[in-house]
Each structure stands twice: as C-alpha cells, then as structure tokens.
C-alpha cells in the first residue's frame, strides 16, 4: 500500500499499523508517537492500515495527541477508583484543556487522602502496562453488559445513542469502560500524571440531576513537563484574581449575590480608567457612544430570536401585565437606535459603541470570580455599512483591537471562522462577507488560522485569542458580520440609485467584558498593574513625624497633577511601611526623612524592591508623568 507522509509517499506492507510505520521512519518517532491521523481522522497507533492513505504520526506537541494521552489517563484513574471503591458508579471521563477528569457516584465524598491513594494505585496499573483492547457489542448486549456490571450511568448513555451507533468498549486488565476512543496502546504509556483536585458536578450538567464527585488530573509525557505545568499552576494560584481582588481591596463576589460582582473604591478607579481609555480611543476612531435600556419588552426579544432560543439564560418579569426581559445582549437595543431615523448611503458607515450592562443566568457551578458572572458590562459596538465598506471597516476594527492589546502587552493570535451548516442567508451574501473578512486580514498581512464551519449562524467572524504572562489564552475580542438581524428588523438605507437597500451589520467587542478583562489583567500582572492603571500610583512614607508636613505637601502637589497618592504617617519602622506598600502592589514609594525634608528631595523606591535613590521631587514627578502618558509596562 502507498502511504502519503508529510515529506512524500512510501510503500509499506499491507496491514501494518501506524506504530510499525513510525518505527521504520525513526525509532525516536516511534518512541514519541501517541496516535495517528489517517485520512484526516484520529486513530490508535495499533489499528491496522489496509489501504492507500495519508498518514501523520502525532506526538504530544499535537493537541489531538494530548487528548488521547489524557483520555487514557482518565481510564487509568477510573480503574484505580474502582479498585479502591468497588461500589463507585462510573459516569464520564473526558480529556479537557490541560488535563482530564472523571465523574463518580459515591455515597461518601472523596478526600485529599483518598486522592493520594488513587495516585498510588494508578502507579501500579501503569506499571502492569496492560493493553487497551477495543471491542464492540450490539445495542441490547451492550446495555445488558453494563447492567450486569452495575453501571446505571453507562446504561443511560448507551440508551441515548442513535439506533445505528457503534457501541464500543475498552478493556485494560480487569477493567472495562464504555468508550469511543481512541487510546494509547497500553497503560504503561501514561508516563507522568497528577491528580489535582476534587469537585462536585451534576450528572450531565443539570441541577435537576444527582451531584457526582469529580476528580481532576493532568498528564504529560515526561516528569519535567509535568513539573513545569504544576509550577505554572502554583503561580496561577498566587495570581488568582479572586484572592488579589480581596487582598488589594478592589472587588469581590459576596454570598448575598452569587455571580454579581461588588467593586470597591479602588476597584472603581481601575474600572473607570479602563472605561475612560475605551471612550478615548473610540472617539478618535469615529464612534458615537450610546446607552440603551437595561430592560425591554418581550416583542423585541421575540423579533431578535432571543425569546425562543435564549430564554433560559434571561431574567424576565412583568410590567403592566406585559412580559419584559433584562437584556442579555446589547444588539437589539443598538438596532432600535439605528431605526430612529432614515439613513442614506452617504451617512454610512454608522459606528456606535456602548458600555452596556447585561445579565445572563449562569448555573451556579459555572460561576468563577469575574471570569464567569451573571451581570457584566460588554464593550459592544455596532457598525452599519454598505457591502462595499466591509473590508475597510474590518481593517479599522482590527487596527483598533491590535492597538488595545499592544497597550496592555498581550500577544495574540487570530482565527477566522467560516459558514456553519445551520446558517441563514444567501450564498452570495456569505461569499461577500467571508471575502470581506479574509481580504481585510490578507491586506493587513495578518497571520490567521481558518476554523471551517465555526462561524455564527448569521455570519462569519474573526476571533482574537490573547496570551497572558502564564501562557494561557483568552478569547476576548471578536468581529462578527451579521446578515440576520438587519433582515429580522427590516433595516434599510437609501442607496445612490434611490432604492432601499439592506445594510450589513458588524458586532464587535475589544475587551469582551469589563469585569472579565479586569480579572485577566489582574492575573496577567499579578495585581501589579502598570502605573497608569494602578489605583494608588505613589505612596509617601515618613521616617519620623518631623517629616509629616512635608509628606502632606508632596501628596498635595502630586494629587494636583493627577497622580493618585497616599501618605503613611504611622509611627512604624520604615521597613514595615515599605513592605506593606510592596504587598499592596503600589508602583512607587517616596521615603521622606530629616535629610530629604532639609534638601527638598525624595528617596524613590519601587514595588520590585529597586531603590532608585534620592532625587528632586520635580524629577520624580516628571518620571511618573512620562510613564503614565506612554502607558509604559515595566
């Protein structure tokens, strides 16, 4: 048979598997191989190949290979739990980003000590190096097989599969699990693993179902990789925005309002600085700011499609016997603003931006600090334009997003998502919209990946994935072309021919949501925000009470120049005062003692422990103002 590889085609004996082929290519490749991609589909290394095909041998560098390794690790975890707690009922155990989990139904909750015992048992299973053997059963036999093993959740999963579905199982030693695969050839290939936490999880994610016990873990091909990952996790814990929000007195989520953030005075300074920056760059880019109501009636949401397709995520009420909904999105309100008057092609494009507060009902288990909340402010903008203006408007939005991410020091990647199967609109409109997005990216010289078929049902989109200081990626900015809402709301403009035409609509956000972006910024900078964003920029510290009046005068001068300043006049040692200011992540400290008061100078220190030294106050002010103006990141 002829196998087409990355570097050309070669002939191999019929019936060979990918692992054998890898061995003929390179023993090192065979050692690193995890799975194979055959004619575009992921399959196990030991599955025989009986026809001509394209073949890629995948190592841990490939995301699909990571999933295969970690999925196998989840089966090892399940086998270990069943060994230690035979009464445990198996639910599901998939690979996820950076790891895996498995859900169990048990009478007694798992404990950290139990996790240690499970890890030890996993080591024994891996040492045995049992092969993972796939087999299939007819539907009724599969149900009977799982019923005999006392696995009700597996029975339910089988019953919910389509009638013609292939029902497959994987056996490793004395353990068998319902699974579609693929997997590693044997348990011994799980080289480095760690169980990381225990959590509760509703069966199938529904609050109506039973709460299960979930064990999270991760797996890598080497201990060094695992150790590096665990070190990043520990660093991430130190940077957890929920902890820092409380410690730095910025924001918090209280038990009285799950998913509804509280912003304290210093947090409001940070928030307002972000919003002021947002308004400034939008004025320059030709946007007009609008504000739409937080609550609108049912007929609007029916027309937009939200009432039928998104109602379970909406908060509703009645006013004067009419149904109303608190807005989960700003778009319909923005459309009503466009409808306020007739437009000509000469008026277009119309660019309107809104910092709009929206509410969405999220399951309590999905809530996570500022990252996943029930109310948040979207930095939305909507652009209404002619089809001919698509490319230029996309280029303008891209440049705006690029400038924002550079300001905060975020590298990012770009993804273009194209027409999905359940789309609306004509072929002509989709071609025009997709070519507009792609053409704009090409003209800008942007590197991007194409995500085929992952666009919104109403139009293609560009997503921006920014990378933080820990290498984590966050999807924040997006540019979406919409051919649905202009049609639903019968939006028009008068063209050069005097006829009515349908505008094209762009939905776009830069930050995503103010709350989530603050969470991301807090973890990215570990609470040590750049000087221009720091709620307190300078703290004046006195060595003796003889410097108190001079310290107050320094603060007054700094505040008049717009530099946010605090003074510490407490009768404490200067080392204690400095340490406390450093813990509060204040960028600069000005120390004043008898010598500084006499000479009219200040001793400048930074939160990083750097002692810049003595300088005239005017010199220090000039340094601060320059760093603030340039938004420098140190």
- Please tell me the distance from the alpha carbon of residue 486 to that of residue 484, in angstroms, as a whole number: 6
434, 423 Cβ separation under 8 angstroms = no
- Quick one: which H or E segment has residue 43? strand 41-43
* Inter-CA distances, 605 with 223, 545, 574, Å: 40, 20, 12
Q: Which of 461, 508, 577, 605 is catalytic?
A: 461
- Please tell me the distance from the alpha carbon of residue 516 to that of residue 547, in angstroms, as a whole number: 42
Could you count the other beta carbons within 10 Å of the beta carbon of residue 372?
Answer: 17
Degrees to nearest 5, angle at CA 313 with 330 and 522: 70
- Please tell me the distance from the alpha carbon of residue 242 to that of residue 247, in angstroms, as a whole number: 9
The reply to whether 507 belongs to the active site is: yes
Helix spans in 361-469 (H): 390-408, 427-444
Q: Which of 172, 213, 378, 438 is catalytic?
A: 378
Say which residue the tokens 């589909």 belong to. 41
416, 449 Cβ separation under 8 angstroms = yes
The reply to whether 360 belongs to the active site is: yes
3-state secondary structure of 121: helix
* Inter-CA distances, 72 with 117, 120, 181, 215, Å: 19, 17, 9, 15
Q: Which of 189, 194, 271, 382 is catalytic?
A: 382
Dihedral pair phi/psi, residue 270, rounded to 5°: -60, -45
What contacts 581, CB < 8 A, 6 or more positions away?
539, 541, 568, 589, 607
Q: Which of 189, 327, 359, 360 is catalytic?
A: 360
The reply to whether 616 belongs to the active site is: no
In the DSSP assignment, the letter for residue 556 is H
* Inter-CA distances, 29 with 58, 192, 299, Å: 9, 19, 61
Closest CA to 53 of 29, 18, 26: 18
Q: Which of 214, 507, 508, 524 is catalytic?
A: 507
Max alpha carbon distance in the chain (Å)? 92
76, 109 Cβ separation under 8 angstroms = no
Residues with catalytic function: 331, 360, 378, 380, 382, 461, 507
């Amino acid at each position: 048979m002829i196998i087409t590889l990355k570097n050309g085609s070669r002939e191999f004996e019929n019936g060979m598997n990918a692992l054998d082929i890898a061995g003929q290519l390179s023993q090192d490749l065979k050692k690193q191989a995890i799975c194979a991609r055959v004619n575009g589909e992921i399959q196990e290394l030991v599955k025989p190949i009986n026809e001509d095909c394209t073949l890629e041998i995948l190592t841990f560098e490939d995301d699909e290979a990571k999933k295969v390794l970690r999925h196998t690790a989840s089966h090892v975890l399940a086998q270990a739990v069943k060994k230690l707690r035979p009464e445990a009922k198996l639910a599901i155990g998939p690979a996820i980003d950076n790891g895996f989990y498995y859900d169990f139904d048990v009478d007694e909750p798992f404990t950290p000590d139990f996790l240690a015992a499970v890890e030890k048992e996993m080591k024994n299973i891996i040492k045995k190096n049992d092969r993972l053997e796939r087999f299939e059963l007819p539907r009724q036999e599969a149900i009977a097989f799982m019923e005999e093993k006392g696995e009700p959740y597996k029975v339910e999963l089988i019953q919910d599969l389509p009638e013609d579905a292939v029902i497959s199982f994987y056996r490793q030693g004395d353990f068998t699990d319902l699974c579609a695969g693929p997997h590693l050839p044997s348990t011994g290939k799980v080289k480095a693993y760690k169980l990381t936490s225990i959590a509760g999880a509703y069966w199938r994610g529904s609050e109506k179902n039973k709460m299960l016990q979930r064990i999270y873990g991760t797996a890598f091909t080497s201990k060094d990789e695992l150790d590096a990952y665990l070190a990043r996790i520990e660093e991430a814990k130190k940077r957890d925005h929920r902890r820092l929000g409380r410690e730095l007195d910025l924001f918090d989520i209280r038990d009285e309002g799950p998913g509804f953030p509280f912003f304290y005075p210093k947090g409001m300074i940070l928030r307002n600085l972000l919003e002021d920056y947002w308004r400034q760059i939008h004025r320059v880019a030709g946007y007009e700011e609008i504000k739409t109501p937080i609550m609108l009636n049912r007929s609007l949401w029916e027309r937009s499609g939200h009432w039928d397709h998104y109602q379970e995520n909406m908060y509703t009420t009645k006013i004067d016997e009419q149904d109303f909904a608190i807005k989960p999105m700003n778009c319909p309100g923005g459309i009503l603003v466009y409808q306020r008057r007739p437009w000509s092609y000469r008026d277009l494009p119309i660019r309107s931006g809104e910092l709009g507060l929206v509410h969405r009902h999220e399951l309590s288990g999905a809530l996570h600090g500022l990252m996943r909340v029930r109310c948040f402010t979207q930095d939305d903008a909507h652009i209404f334009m002619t089809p001919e203006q698509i490319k230029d408007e996309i280029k303008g939005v891209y440049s705006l997003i690029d400038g924002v991410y550079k300001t905060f020091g975020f590298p990012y990647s770009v993804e273009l998502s194209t027409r999905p199967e359940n789309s609306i609109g004509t072929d002509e409109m989709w071609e025009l919209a997709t070519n507009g997005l792609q053409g704009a990216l090409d003209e800008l010289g942007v590197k991007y990946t194409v995500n085929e078929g992952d666009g919104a049902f109403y139009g293609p989109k560009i997503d921006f994935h920014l990378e933080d200081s820990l290498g984590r990626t966050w999807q924040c900015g997006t540019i979406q072309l919409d051919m649905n809402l202009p049609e639903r709301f019968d939006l028009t403009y008068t063209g050069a021919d005097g006829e009515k035409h349908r505008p094209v609509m762009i939905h776009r956000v830069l930050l995503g949501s103010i709350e989530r972006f603050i969470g991301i910024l807090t973890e990215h900078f570990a609470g040590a925000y750049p000087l221009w964003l720091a709620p307190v920029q300078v703290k004046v510290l006195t060595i003796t009470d003889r410097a108190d009046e001079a310290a107050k005068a320094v603060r007054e001068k700094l505040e008049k120049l717009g530099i946010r300043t605090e003074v510490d006049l407490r009768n404490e040692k200067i080392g204690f005062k400095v340490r406390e200011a450093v813990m509060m992540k204040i960028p600069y400290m000005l120390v004043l003692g008898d010598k500084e008061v006499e000479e009219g100078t200040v001793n400048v220190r930074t939160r990083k422990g750097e002692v810049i030294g003595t300088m005239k106050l005017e010199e220090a002010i000039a340094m601060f103002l320059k760093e603030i103006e340039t938004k420098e990141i140190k």
